[in-house]
Amino acid sequence: MSMRMKRKIFSTGSHGQELRDKVQTALDNGLPVFCTQWGVSLDTGDSGVFYDESREWIDYLNANNISWCNWSIGSRHTASSNVLRFYSDRFTIEQKLAGHWSDEMLSESGIFVRALIRGEDNG
């Protein structure tokens, strides 16, 4: 069987069951799946955090043992960017590089995704 790598990025506000069905087809055919990037907003990066849709995706990924990476740690001002104040002069370089960021350093998305990673989101 020939395996072809295909990259598919999803945003929880824009991509739902139809994309999960495609992922399921790949799994049902014995293909390995890794979620290279997903965001909590619309695919434009706007419209806030889609909490319920994000939880639905994470539940699906976890149930199917699919590892994932979330978009993005950076200073870009979008709903799906996790650290909006990372480049602020309010924090020392040591604080920024340590990775133990306070809620004050994280965006709404960042706080939510960190809770998902830690298993602390109780929805």
The answer to whether the beta carbons of residues 39 and 12 sit under 8 Å apart is yes
Cα gap 28→101, rounded to integer Å: 39
- What pLDDT, on a 0 to 100 scale, did the predictor assign at position 1? 44
CA-based torsion, 87, 89, 94, 98: positive or negative: negative
The domain total for the chain is: 1
Tell whether 82 is covered by a domain.
yes
As a whole number, the mean pLDDT across the chain is 80
| Banded pLDDT at 12 (limits 50, 70, 90) | confident
Q: How far apart are CA 81 and CA 58, in angstroms?
A: 18
Residue 3 lies in a domain: no
pLDDT band at 72 (very low <50, low <70, confident <90, very high): confident
Residue 4 inside a domain? The answer is no
CA-CA distance, 11 to 72, in Å (whole number)? 12
Residue 1 lies in a domain: no
**Does residue 2 lie within any of the structural domains?**
no
> Mean pLDDT: which of 69-73, 75-79, 112-116, 119-123 is highest?
112-116
Least confident residue range of 25-29, 54-58, 62-66, 105-109: 105-109
Structural domain that includes position 53: 10-118
| Tokens describing residue 111 | 């706080």
Residue with the two structure tokens 């965001």: 39
**Model confidence pLDDT, tens digit, residues 20-54:** 999 999 999 999 999 888 888 878 777 888 899 99
Single-letter code of the amino acid located at 78 = T
